Amino acid sequence: MQAALSLAAARRGPSLGILIAAALSVLVSAGGINLLARLGGHITGIWISNAVLLCFLLKQPSRDWPKILLAGLVGNAAADFLLHDNPFSIACMVVANAIEVLLVAIPMRRFRLDRSISRPRALLSFYALAVVPAPLLSALFSSVIFRFVYGADFFDSVVNWYSADALGLIMIVPPVMTVRWTAFKAMFSRDQLGGTLLAIGAVVAVIGVNYIYRDTPIAFLFFPAIALLTFQRGFAGGAIGLVLSAVYLFLPVLFGDPHGMLRSHSLREQILLVQIYVAVIGFSMAMLGAALEERKRLERGLAAAIKRAESAREEALVARDSSDRANRAKSMFLANMSHELRTPLNAVIGFSEIMQAETFGPLGDPRYREYTRLIQDAGRHLLDLINDVLDMSKIEAGKHELVRERLLVGEIMRECVDLMRERAQQADVDLQFSMPAAPLWVDADRRAIKQILLNLLSNAIKFTPSGGHVIAKATISDGKLILLVTDTGIGIPADQLYRLGNPFVQLKTDAGTAHSGTGLGLALVRALAQMHHGSLKIESIEGKGTTVSVTIPLAAKANMAA
C-alpha cells in the first residue's frame, strides 16, 4: 500500500518521483540487510528493491527513466555499502539489478503493455519476463561475481539470487500496477462499505483460524477468501487480502516462531516457501482480477455497441420513414396530376386530328397538313411517355388496381396488332400474330393485358430494322397463358440482359445513341405481370433478334386456390 501511495505521489513531478525512488530503494534495500545478517550470506531471502524501482519506471515517461534508474540504483549501492562490500562488488551488483529491471521494463514499454497491465495479455507477458529471463540473467551475472570475490558456490548463488528477485518482482509489481486509488475509495464508499467489510472479514477470519490451529496445514483457506474479496472488489480488494495474508504469514517466520511444517526448515527456506505461497496467491488474484476487468470492459463495449446500434437503427427508421413519405408524396403527386396532364394533351391531339381531317373545310396551304401530322405524332408520343410515367407511379404508390374479367385473348391480341400495324408499316416491318384454333380465355385486367402487348410490340418494332419481322403468339402451358413477341431485330448483348425490366433503363445502339422513350416500357410489363402473379422473361441473340415472353395464370389466384 505504501508503495502504491508513493507512486501516486511520484506523478506530481519528475524531481519528486526521483527523490522518492531513491528513498524507497534505500529503505527496501536496507530492510533486506537485516535479513542478510541473519541469513549469513550476501543474498537476502526477500529482495523487493528491484520490484519497487520497476514500478517507478513503468509509471513514468521514458524520458525520465535514466534519472529514476540512477536514483534507484544509487539506493541499492548505498545499502550494499552499509554491508562494507568493496566498490567492485557493489558496482557489479548494481549492474546486475539494472539488467533485471530493464529486461522487464523495456519490452513492456516497447509493446505498450504497461498502459493496460490489468489486461490478461499484459499480465501474462509481465509474468513471463519476471519469472524467467530477467532474474535468471541477473542471477547468472551476479553469481559469477560472488564466485570470484567471495568464493561462494555458483549454483547456490544462482538459486538464491533468482528466487529472491523473481519472487520479489511477481509479489510486488502486479498489485502496485493494477490497483487504482479511485478503486480503493470506491470500496469504502457508503454503498459498498458493507460488502467490503464482510469480504475483508472473511480474510481476517481465515487468519484467525490459521492462528488458532497454527499447527494444522489449513493455509489453503486463504485462496477462497482472497478470491472472494477479489471477485467482489476487483484488484483493490485482492491487494488488501494479499497484504493481510502476507503480513500474517511472514511475521511468525521473521520473529522466529514459524507455524506448522515450516519449523523443520531453515530460515532461508521458510522465507522462500512463504514467498512462493504468497506469489501463487498473488498470481491467482491478479489473473482473476484481470479476467473480471476484461469482462467489465467487454460488457461496457457491448453496452456501447448496443447503444450505437439502437441509435443507428432509430436513425435508419427515421430516414426510411422520411424516404417513404417523400416517395409516397412523389407518387401521389404524379398520380394526382394524371387528369391535369392528359386533358390538354387530348385537346392538342383532338384539334390536330380535326385539322388533319379538314372537318370544317380545306386548310388552304398543303403545308398545314404536314404541320398537323407533326403535332399529332408529337402529342401521341408525349402522351405515351406521360402514360408510362403515371402508370408506373400509380403502381409504386399502390394506387393501380386490377379490374379482372373474363377475357378472350385472341380478341385483345388482334386489337393490339391492328393498333400497331400502321407503325409497323411506316418502319417497313412485317407484323403478324398467331393464336390457337380453340378460343383462349383468361381472368385478367383488360387494360393491363393491352398495355403489356402494346409495349412488347412497340419495342419489337422499334428495334427491328427495315425488312424485318415481328410475330406475336399466345399459348397455354401448365394452366398459364404465355404471351410471346419475337422479332428479328438488333438483339441484346448477353451482358446487358440483366438490366432490362428495371425502371428508366435504356440500351444504347452501336452508335452510342438510345431510342426515344422513358425506359419504363419493360418495367411496366414486368410490374403488371407480377400484379397478375406472373413473370417476364427475355431471351436474345445479338444481331439476330429477341423473344420476350409474359406468363400469366389463366385463373385469378383466389380462384386457383379454390
**CB–CB of 487/464 below 8 Å?**
yes
In a domain, 109, yes or no: yes
Name the pLDDT band for 289 (thresholds 50, 70, 90).
confident
The mean per-residue pLDDT over the stretch 298-311 comes to 87
Chain CA centroid to CA 226, Å: 37
**Boundary-marking domain end, from 349, 364, 397:** 397
pLDDT above 50: residue 148: yes
In a domain, 199, yes or no: no
Q: Residue 38's pLDDT is what?
A: 43
> Do residues 342 and 465 share a domain?
no
Q: Residue 42's pLDDT is what?
A: 47
Q: Residue 145's pLDDT is what?
A: 85
Write the CB contacts of 115 (distance below 8 Å, at least 6 apart in sequence).
none
Question: Using N-to-C axis directions, what is the helix angle for 521-531 and 367-397, rounded to 10°?
Answer: 40
Looking at the structure of the chain, the number of domains it has is 3
pLDDT above 70: residue 1: no
> Do residues 376 and 419 share a domain?
no
Q: Residue 204's pLDDT is what?
A: 93
Write the CB contacts of 45 (distance below 8 Å, at least 6 apart in sequence).
35, 39, 160, 164, 267, 268, 271, 272, 275
Question: Which of 414-428, 438-452, 495-509 shows the lowest mean pLDDT across its residues?
Answer: 495-509
> Do residues 375 and 440 share a domain?
no
> Do residues 417 and 389 share a domain?
no
More confident residue, 550 or 27: 550
Question: Using N-to-C axis directions, what is the helix angle for 2-10 and 49-59, rounded to 10°?
Answer: 30
**CB–CB of 387/518 below 8 Å?**
no
pTM of the predicted model, to two decimals?
0.52
Question: Which of 43-47, 239-243, 366-370, 414-418 shows the lowest mean pLDDT across its residues?
Answer: 43-47
More confident residue, 504 or 336: 336
More confident residue, 509 or 99: 99
pLDDT above 70: residue 19: no
Q: Residue 6's pLDDT is what?
A: 45
The string of pLDDT tens digits covering residues 213-240 is 888 888 889 989 999 999 888 888 999 9
pLDDT above 80: residue 333: no
How confident is the prediction for the chain on average, in pLDDT? Answer: 80
> Do residues 391 and 535 share a domain?
no
Question: Which of 289-293, 319-323, 326-330 shows the lowest mean pLDDT across its residues?
Answer: 326-330
**Boundary-marking domain end, from 178, 201, 220:** 178
Name the pLDDT band for 16 (thresholds 50, 70, 90).
low
> Do residues 538 and 515 share a domain?
yes
In a domain, 278, yes or no: no
pLDDT above 60: residue 451: yes
- What are the φ and ψ backbone dihedral angles of 18, each rounded to 5 degrees? -65, -40
pLDDT above 50: residue 322: yes
> Do residues 68 and 131 share a domain?
yes
The mean per-residue pLDDT over the stretch 474-495 comes to 88
> Do residues 4 and 146 share a domain?
yes
pLDDT above 80: residue 210: yes
The mean per-residue pLDDT over the stretch 149-177 comes to 87
pLDDT above 90: residue 128: yes
In a domain, 241, yes or no: no
The domain that contains 427 carries what CATH number? 3.30.565.10
Cα 553 to Cα 562: distance, rounded to the nearest angstrom = 14
> Do residues 348 and 432 share a domain?
no
In a domain, 434, yes or no: yes
- What are the φ and ψ backbone dihedral angles of 432, each rounded to 5 degrees? -135, 165
In a domain, 164, yes or no: yes
The string of pLDDT tens digits covering residues 164-206 is 889 889 888 998 888 888 888 888 998 899 999 999 999 999 9
Helix, strand or coil for residue 438? coil
Q: Residue 21's pLDDT is what?
A: 61
Q: Residue 331's pLDDT is what?
A: 67
In a domain, 489, yes or no: yes
> Do residues 475 and 348 share a domain?
no
The mean per-residue pLDDT over the stretch 402-431 comes to 90
SS (H, E, C) 262-297: HHHCCHHHHHHHHHHHHHHHHHHHHHHHHHHHHHHH
Q: Residue 358's pLDDT is what?
A: 74
Q: Residue 34's pLDDT is what?
A: 44
Q: Residue 392's pLDDT is what?
A: 75
More confident residue, 560 or 303: 303
More confident residue, 505 or 537: 537
**Boundary-marking domain end, from 397, 413, 443:** 397
> Do residues 354 and 480 share a domain?
no
Give the residue from 204, 297, 215 showing the smallest Cα distance to 261.
Answer: 215
More confident residue, 68 or 381: 68
Name the pLDDT band for 561 (thresholds 50, 70, 90).
very low
What's the domain range around 529?
Answer: 404-561
The mean per-residue pLDDT over the stretch 520-546 comes to 87
Task: Provide the grid cell at 384.
Answer: 405515351
- What are the φ and ψ backbone dihedral angles of 405, each rounded to 5 degrees? -155, 165
Name the pLDDT band for 365 (thresholds 50, 70, 90).
low
Cα 500 to Cα 538: distance, rounded to the nearest angstrom = 8
> Do residues 466 and 519 share a domain?
yes
In a domain, 165, yes or no: yes
